[in-house]
Amino acid sequence: MPDYQHHWKDGTPVHLPLGKIVCIGRNYAEHARELNNPVPDEPLLFIKPSTSAVHITRPLDFPRDRGDVHFETELAVLIGRPITNASAIEAEAAILGYGLALDLTLRDVQSLLKEKRQPWERAKAFDGACPLSPFVAADKLRKDHLTFTLDIDGKRQQTGDTRDMLNPIIPLIAHMSSQFTLMPGDVVLTGTPSGVGALASGQILSLELEDVLFVETRVI
């Protein structure tokens, strides 16, 4: 098992177990288009196991023998209470904190799986496939919308704004809870904006959420 533990921005641990990581694909139309994917009619959900989570500040390491590994920067939501078939009010109340994540993807593997109409886990669920940042308490961030960015080697690569999501955060979490119970310590990844690409050795990745959270990592 990995030694990952949820933490707050100030370094104190979040006393919740690491649970499942529930993700949505193609939640930004521009990202769907850049990969020549159709925009889904309903949320396209998949799950990363807890073994995929690592601290984002550690050097990024990943399989080197399975083709390109792409970065996908995403807003991460930490769930703080159990919810099943949640209303919008219940879904919002279940949000304990916000952070950032990289949904690392074996793109060549994923393309092959899609051709065969097979599940994506081989491309999305490998050890280290979900670097996670510390979290900021939900009440420390504005409620109307959130923005986040990724710079690689000092150059802006991705910019995300929750107003551009096809499935906004609260309805998305409510929908997820109608498919399976979300538990304290679970993390929801809310999709990536356009600008994804392959990682290369030596790159420095700098991620920022609003002006309250900044993390940096590098590819080994």
Q: Looking at the structure, give the CATH architecture of the domain made up of residues 21-218.
A: Alpha-Beta Complex (3.90)
Residue extents of the structural domains in the chain: 21-218
Altogether, the residues listed in the chain come to a count of 220
Q: What is the pLDDT of residue 2?
A: 56
Q: What is the pLDDT of residue 11?
A: 97
For Cα atoms 9, 15, 20, give the angle at the middle one, nearest 5 degrees: 90
pLDDT over 90 at 121, yes or no: yes
CB atoms within 10 A of CB 142: 9
What are the structure tokens assigned to 141, written together?
A: 């961030």
Which of 27, 63, 1, 30 has the alpha carbon at shortest distance from 188? 27
Q: What predicted TM-score, i.e. pTM, was given to this entire model? A: 0.95
pLDDT over 50 at 1, yes or no: no
Q: What is the pLDDT of residue 37?
A: 77
CB atoms within 10 A of CB 202: 9
What are the structure tokens assigned to 56, written together?
A: 């984002």
Interval 188-213: pLDDT, tens: 999 999 999 999 999 999 999 999 99
